[in-house]
Chain A
Amino acid sequence: MTTLLIAEHDNGSLKEPTARALTAALAIGGDVQVLVAGKDCGAAAAEAARLAGVTKVLHAESDALAHQLAEPLAALIVALAAPYDAIVAAATSTGKNTMPRVAALLDVMQVSDVTGVVAADTFERPIYAGNAIETVQSPEAKRVLTVRSSAFKAAEAGGAAAVEPVDAAAAVAAGSAFVGAEIARLERPELTSARIVVSGGRAFQSAENFRKYLEPLADKLGAAIGASRAAVDAGYAPNDYQVGQTGKVVAPDLYIACGISGAIQHLAGMKDAKVIVAINKDPDAPIFQVADYGLVGDVFTLLPEFEKAL
């Protein structure tokens, strides 16, 4: 049995979800090969070759692959698919965008957002905003999976796989073109892989307050910053800070929810954190029901105090 893992990268380097999805791919059993498809992505391919457990890296170069557009990337994966029993990607925005396209071209029903590998054909995944966990069996000859990276530990470095160039002629742009991107340069740890996440909700009332009260605490803790949808919709925080069913799913060691009520859609994104702290002025806020430690009070007085106490 052989699995093809689609690498998540920005051409220059490999992104952490790749190492996490690799752990899931290894749990399926058999060989795992990694596809690094991009433009001038040799460095990312070399990094993939150093992940422990990888038996081979396929390196595809094409102008059409520079921005990971779904049409050319899916066409390439389908062209390479024949020898593989499973095709796996992290459920990042690229993975979610591309893999269903691959699955449909292969006439396979995809299993999305896998959080557990039970057997080579049997997987666990959350449904209904994580209020239920479904175990599904895929009888498909080829299995196409996306993997929730927060559910798996990153595989270690220590491998030395061969990097093999592959023909990227199948990667043809078709009806879509990249115009531009605005990607925030993060000075803090990435939300989905951070050990500690400090998250803010509607309570902050303005973008200014959001930064003023959360950043010092996050800096002290070396934490990433997250937000509820209400905080994002109100413009207090950028959209990619959103934690929840329809935002990012995080599972840090410590999640500190500040002025967040605890709607089920928010809980879906953070309830697998090891330790949850809730700070809210409403003693009956639902967030306290999922918290390990609850502190009732005003974020505007408690957060500066918290920061000083560290």
Chain B
Amino acid sequence: MKVLVPVKRVVDFNVKVRVRPDGSGVDLQNVKMAMNPFDEIAVEEALRLREAGKASEIVVVSVGPAQAAETIRTGLAMGADRGILVKSDFSTEPLGVAKALRAVVEAEQPRLVILGKQAIDDDCNQTGQMLAALLGWPQATFASKLVIEGDAATVTREVDGGHETLALTLPAIVTTDLRLNEPRYASLPNIMKAKKKPIDEKTPEELGVDLTPRLKVLKVVEPKGQRSGTRVATVAELVDKLKNEAQVL
């Protein structure tokens, strides 16, 4: 079984981004980039399926600028077999990405696509569901457990209030939640090996998709809300402030 894992290049989760003073967006110059953490979990899950003899080949794919090849390399260094880069200079939107991924799925014919549940930059939480809709495949989002038996996937999902378990018939789409697994670190030999693994480049035109964004960003601003930051010395003082100053008790 072939598994496809879409991976996105995002600002590293440790970075606190700054809004450009002119309100045109977020300053991404010289900011550390990394693979979206949920996508590391997706790659890890695919690797575990291969180690369990359930997956035969793992293909990582990214839609983005030339530098997204680095993100693909990260996936290859973790252990994926090969990469596909769909080169786009547009800032991508989930609908466009999902259309590009559909074209890749049609060419590659995987039985399973594992995506992150959300990218930590735009927090859209859409791409996997959109891809499932475009392909007419079943979906299990926010997965915390995945079991594959033949043509069936049993997926436990994190939902409001607890967990839910679904049975899917492959081919299917799964999106990862935080507690699905702990992604491995790439070892030095594997990082070296990854340099020789192939990355195939495609253009949106070759795939017949239009990645032009639909939504128009009018402005980006800092969130409001400066806090007083009062230090209180005792519990008694805290309770007094909450009752009399903040009036929330």
Residues of A with C-beta under 8 A to B222: 131-133
What is the minimal beta-carbon distance from A169 to any residue of chain B, in angstroms? Answer: 18
What is the minimal beta-carbon distance from A157 to any residue of chain B, in angstroms? Answer: 23
Q: Does A80 contact B (CB under 8 A)?
A: no
User: In the complex, given contacts A133-B221, A176-B168, what are 13 additional A-B residue pairs having Cβ atoms less than 8 angstroms apart?
Assistant: A67-B164, A93-B159, A101-B130, A104-B131, A113-B125, A127-B121, A131-B223, A196-B248, A240-B160, A254-B242, A275-B242, A275-B248, A295-B238
CB proximity to A under 8 Å, residues B47-81: none
Q: List 30 A-B contacts (CB under 8 A).
A: A67-B164, A71-B139, A97-B142, A98-B129, A101-B130, A101-B132, A104-B98, A105-B133, A110-B94, A110-B126, A126-B223, A127-B122, A132-B223, A133-B222, A135-B217, A135-B220, A138-B215, A176-B167, A177-B167, A179-B167, A180-B165, A183-B159, A184-B161, A229-B178, A246-B120, A264-B16, A290-B227, A306-B235, A309-B236, A310-B249
Q: Does A47 contact B (CB under 8 A)?
A: no
A100 and B130 in contact, given A136-B215, A309-B235 (Cβ under 8 angstroms): yes
Query: Which residues on B are within 8 Å of A, measured CB to CB?
Result: 11, 13, 16-17, 19, 26, 38, 93-95, 98, 117-118, 120-134, 136-142, 144, 154, 157-169, 172, 177-179, 213-223, 225, 227-236, 238-239, 241-242, 246, 248-249
Residue of A with least CB distance to B93: A109
Residues of B with C-beta under 8 A to A92: 160
A280 CA to B16 CA, complexed, in Å: 22
B133 touches A104 (CB 8 A): yes
B161 touches A240 (CB 8 A): yes
What is the minimal beta-carbon distance from B138 to any residue of chain A, in angstroms? Answer: 3
Q: Does A52 contact B (CB under 8 A)?
A: no
B178 touches A93 (CB 8 A): no
Residue of B with least CB distance to A15: B160
Residue of B with least CB distance to A91: B125
Residues of A with C-beta under 8 A to B137: 175
A104 touches B161 (CB 8 A): no
Q: Does A57 contact B (CB under 8 A)?
A: no
A239 CA to B162 CA, complexed, in Å: 7
A119 CA to B186 CA, complexed, in Å: 47
Range of interface residues on chain A?
Answer: 35 or more
B94 touches A277 (CB 8 A): no
Q: Does A208 contact B (CB under 8 A)?
A: no
Residue of B with least CB distance to A97: B141
Q: Does A25 contact B (CB under 8 A)?
A: no
Residues of A with C-beta under 8 A to B248: 196, 253-254, 274-275
A310 CA to B165 CA, complexed, in Å: 42
A253 CA to B34 CA, complexed, in Å: 36
A122 CA to B215 CA, complexed, in Å: 10
Q: For chains A and B in complex, what number of residue pairs have CB atoms within 8 angstroms?
A: 257
Q: Does A167 contact B (CB under 8 A)?
A: no
CB proximity to B under 8 Å, residues A15-44: none
A132 and B138 in contact, given A291-B227, A295-B238 (Cβ under 8 angstroms): no
Residues of B with C-beta under 8 A to A271: 223, 225
B158 touches A293 (CB 8 A): no
Q: Does A187 contact B (CB under 8 A)?
A: no
What is the minimal beta-carbon distance from B229 to any residue of chain A, in angstroms? Answer: 6
What is the minimal beta-carbon distance from A286 to any residue of chain B, in angstroms? Answer: 10
A265 CA to B139 CA, complexed, in Å: 26
Q: Does A70 contact B (CB under 8 A)?
A: yes
B142 touches A93 (CB 8 A): yes
A302 CA to B234 CA, complexed, in Å: 9
B228 touches A292 (CB 8 A): yes
B133 touches A100 (CB 8 A): yes
A175 and B138 in contact, given A129-B120, A253-B248 (Cβ under 8 angstroms): yes
What is the minimal beta-carbon distance from A68 to any residue of chain B, in angstroms? Answer: 9
Residue of B with least CB distance to A253: B248
Q: Does A231 contact B (CB under 8 A)?
A: no
B139 touches A176 (CB 8 A): yes
Residue of A with least CB distance to B116: A246
A277 touches B124 (CB 8 A): no
Residues of B with C-beta under 8 A to A282: none
Q: Does A111 contact B (CB under 8 A)?
A: yes
A245 and B123 in contact, given A104-B98, A240-B160, A292-B246 (Cβ under 8 angstroms): yes
